Structure 1
Amino acid sequence: MAVKHWSKMQERGNRLGMQILLVCYRVFGRKGLWLVLFPVVFYLFLTGKTARQASHAFLTQARKVNGNSKAVTWRDSFRHFRCFADSAFDKIDAWLGRIQQHNILYTNEVLFKQLDEQQQGAIFIGSHLGNLEVCRALSQHRNSKTINVLVFTHHAVEFNKLLKSINPDVAVNLIQVTDLGPDMAIMLKEKVEQGEIVVIVGDRTSTTTAGRVIEADFLGKPAPFSQGPFILAALLDCPVFHLFCLKDKKPNGETCYRVIFEKYADKLVLPRKTRQQTLQQIVSDYAQRLSFYAAAYPYQWFNFYDFWQNDEQVSRSQNKEN
């Protein structure tokens, strides 16, 4: 049986469940809700064979890169699952305004301020490492910037609709994408020209078409990365940034979130004669930065599938996880 593509794995959860989660969170708080949620997470861990195996493989590779020869155990993978569940609470905190500015530590914040002052649009290329939701706190404190986030799954859309319902003032537009076609590119180009931000993840391959990838080294092994986000960045003809948001601890033990802006280029240019070589370098540079932070924060890696799988050999026709 063919291995399934990430986009065709069953999304475990529904809107009612998310609403119940939100209500319980508001009533019992974070610690109280964990008492209820812990057995649920453990059940998903026991029954989620594909995700469990992917966690083990990823943590093993991350340790290898870090020079750690200690074998990954089921406890390590379960911690990985718990971190993923905990990230849902971070999303809620971000939308409820519970994450204060003193809990957000910026790297290269001046870069964002320059965009704001110049009323210039840009594209931020993020990932499923850490929690991009927390970055939406940016829009609560910089009202002049509208942030457009491209999302690729129905589950993400539903969860974000729920979050939007509890704080409709956040200047974030969610745009569901099935394919980055010409119409989408034109719409996003208009938004950038109006000084808005476009956020897209660079660590998920196409949901519809196999083979539109470039292989680049990720944690010491070649992995497929979609060409789409980087071609889009070139079409938008605007500054390009790598964006990461990672949960951390201050020296006093207080939880904080590191929002990291790394300017990659004033704009991406793909010359016709060297298009493929240039694209290869751009993707490789992104993969290198993603590898760096993934190795440093392995439990915040939230791609629970075989990230190194051959993109042309995975099936996009199946709908449920076995």
Structure 2
Amino acid sequence: MTDKHWSSTQERGTTFGIQLLVWLYRIFGQWLFRLILLPVIAYFTLTGNKARQASYQYLRQVNAHTQNPSKIRWYHVYQHFYQFGLAAVDKIRAWLGDVTLDDVTFHNTEVFQQLRQQHPHQGAVFIGSHLGNLELCRAIGENDSDIKINALVFTKHALKFQAALEKFNPNAQLNLIQVDSLGAETAILLKDKVDQGEVVIIVGDRTSVTQYGRVNYADFLGKPAPFSQGPFILANILDCPTYLIFCLKQKGRYHIYLEHFADSLKLSRTDKKQQLQSIIQRYAKRLEHYCLIAPLQWFNFFNFWQKDDKAHISRSNINNNEK
């Protein structure tokens, strides 16, 4: 029996519902909003069967990898879902201007300084993930930095929240590059952005929406998981400095980690496959490192280790002739 691809999962909640949450936050503030979240998250925990199963699987994998003998219970899954809800609150706060640089701790400050020094002469690629709150980085950058940050998103996914926020802050939709797949046209557009000294953000922990098998398997939390080749091949094409970026919430503060990954991810013709495998494994290990710092801030609620082929997974929006 095949499992559904992550992109086939329907978003739960309407744009109006999200706008209502924003209004509640603006009227009552974040602390009452956190209380309102309690029954909302309980509902989603009870009714979200696929996501609940994925949470159990992931949390058990974390325990197995860290040799933690404790058993995963339903309240651990609830806590996992609740962290996702809190991340949504943080996105709202950031785009409404309620999160400032004073609320943020920047790690590896020398890397940030290097990035500023090369701006505006040279742009960069940031490879992020669905660990923590990458959206917060973009919101802070939009409000507090002279470096233009472009986020690559897929048109059919993850735009509902942005559309709702746009009603309250039009900047929430600024610099979103909406694509269906990573093709030549997208690469040319992004190359222009980078050449103008801008930053392009793309996540590295979601497989292709439209194609089977464009993945490399890398060890992640003790098991091989499929990681899309797309972000790393894109960085190869753009031929510019590449960084990894993570934003975690720790003890009430936002911690942004920016790591220099490579001056260029340009792949040689002779051993391209081996280089790509090595690069993706490096990314997976750094993702794992930060995942273990804040395991409940992992927001991939699907079978992350599912093999990416027709025998194991189905894409509802793929051409039947595709391999």
TM-score between the two structures when normalised by the length of structure 2: 0.93
For 1:263, what is the secondary structure of its paired residue?
strand
Matching of residues 7-86 of structure 1 within 5 Å:
7-86=7-86
Matching residue within 187, 199, 212 for 1:185: 187
Matching residue within 262, 265, 269 for 1:272: 269
In the alignment, what sits opposite 2:3? 3
For 1:264, what is the secondary structure of its paired residue?
strand
In the alignment, what sits opposite 1:215? 217
Note the C-alpha offset of 1:163.
2.3
In the alignment, what sits opposite 2:287? 290
Note the C-alpha offset of 1:170.
6.8
In the alignment, what sits opposite 1:139? 142
For 1:71, what is the secondary structure of its paired residue?
coil
Does 1:316 find its partner at 2:315? Answer: yes
**Which range moved further: 288-297 or 239-248?**
288-297
Distance 1:171 1:88, change over 3 A: closer
**Which range moved further: 169-178 or 115-124?**
169-178
Matching residue within 254, 258, 261 for 1:257: 254
In the alignment, what sits opposite 1:149? 151
Contact 2:128–2:201 (CA<8 Å) still a contact in 1?
A: yes
Note the C-alpha offset of 1:318.
7.5
Contact 2:163–2:173 (CA<8 Å) still a contact in 1?
A: no
Distance 1:311 1:169, change over 3 A: closer
How far apart are the structure 2 equivalents of 1:261 and 1:231? 20
For 2:170, what is the secondary structure of its paired residue?
coil
What residue identity is the alignment partner of 1:285?
A: R
How far apart are the structure 1 equivalents of 2:164 and 2:46? 28
Matching residue within 247, 250, 257 for 2:249: 247
The answer for unaligned runs of 5 or more in structure 2 is: 319-323
**Sequence identity (%):** 51
In the alignment, what sits opposite 1:252? none
**Which range moved further: 101-110 or 17-26?**
101-110
For 1:78, what is the secondary structure of its paired residue?
helix
In the alignment, what sits opposite 2:228? 226
Contact 1:146–1:172 (CA<8 Å) still a contact in 2?
A: no
How far apart are the structure 1 equivalents of 2:28 and 2:156? 28
Deviations 1:55-85 (A, max 9, x none): 0111111122222110110000010000001
What residue identity is the alignment partner of 2:242?
A: V
Q: CA RMSD in A?
A: 1.7
Distance 1:63 1:153, change over 3 A: farther
Note the C-alpha offset of 1:155.
4.8
Contact 1:157–1:176 (CA<8 Å) still a contact in 2?
A: no
What residue identity is the alignment partner of 2:142?
A: S
In the alignment, what sits opposite 2:94? 94
Note the C-alpha offset of 1:166.
2.4
Contact 2:45–2:81 (CA<8 Å) still a contact in 1?
A: yes
Contact 1:147–1:172 (CA<8 Å) still a contact in 2?
A: no
For 2:99, what is the secondary structure of its paired residue?
coil
Detail structure 1 runs of 4+ shifted over 6 Å in the superposition: none
How far apart are the structure 1 equivalents of 2:244 and 2:210? 25
In the alignment, what sits opposite 1:303? 300
Note the C-alpha offset of 1:12.
0.6
What residue identity is the alignment partner of 2:144?
A: H
Distance 1:169 1:235, change over 3 A: same
Deviations 1:202-224 (A, max 9, x none): 00000011110000000000000
Deviations 1:264-288 (A, max 9, x none): 1111121111010000000000000
How far apart are the structure 2 equivalents of 1:163 and 1:113? 31
What residue identity is the alignment partner of 1:73?
A: R
Contact 2:7–2:157 (CA<8 Å) still a contact in 1?
A: no
For 2:245, what is the secondary structure of its paired residue?
strand
Deviations 1:119-146 (A, max 9, x none): 220000000000011112023221x211
How far apart are the structure 2 equivalents of 1:278 and 1:172? 34
For 1:125, what is the secondary structure of its paired residue?
strand
| Aligned positions, number | 313
In the alignment, what sits opposite 2:175? 173
Contact 2:235–2:266 (CA<8 Å) still a contact in 1?
A: no
The answer for unaligned runs of 5 or more in structure 1 is: 250-254
For 1:306, what is the secondary structure of its paired residue?
coil
